[in-house]
Amino acid sequence: MVARRKTARKSTARRKTAARKTTRRKTARKTVRKTARKTVRKTARKTVRKTARKTVRKTAARKTTRRKTARKTVRKTAVRRKTAARKTTRRKTARKTVRKTAARKTTRRKTAKRAVRRRR
């Protein structure tokens, strides 16, 4: 009589099934990783685009502000120039008036002298 084994041998079929299961799991993990990478890349692209849009918007805003400021400065300069022109004109007129007044004074003096001479 042949002695029987106490532990039954696992059948090859069962072992093969287990192996297949492991392989399937491995492949699934690989696929998941691949998909995840793809998704991450996609999201990254999206984020980059978003950031780029933001940057462009900011740059545009800066440009607009610069233009606005330039306009303001030009206006200010123009006003300053106008004021300066007005001032010079006023000074010129004042000089003219002073000259005229002085001339009148001289004439008056001359006339007075003549009158005095005539009286004598």
Residue 109 maps to a domain = yes
If residue 60 lies in a helix (H) or strand (E), which one and from where to where?
A: helix 12-119
The model's pLDDT over 63-119, given as tens digits with 9 standing for 90+, comes to 999 999 999 999 999 999 999 999 999 999 999 999 999 999 999 999 999 999 998
Is residue 12 domain-resident?
no
Q: Does some domain include residue 23? A: yes
Q: What is the pLDDT of residues 7-43, one digit of tens each?
A: 666 678 888 888 999 999 999 999 999 999 999 999 9
Provide, rounded to the nearest whole percent, the portion of the chain with pLDDT above 90. Answer: 82
Handedness of CA 106, 112, 115, 119 (dihedral sign): negative
Does residue 10 form part of some domain? Answer: no
Tally of domains within the chain: 1
For residue 45, what are the domain limits? 18-120
Residue 4 belongs to a domain? no
Q: What letters, b where the CB count within 10 A reaches 16 and e where it falls short, cover 16-25?
A: eeeeeeeeee
Residue at 7 is within a domain: no
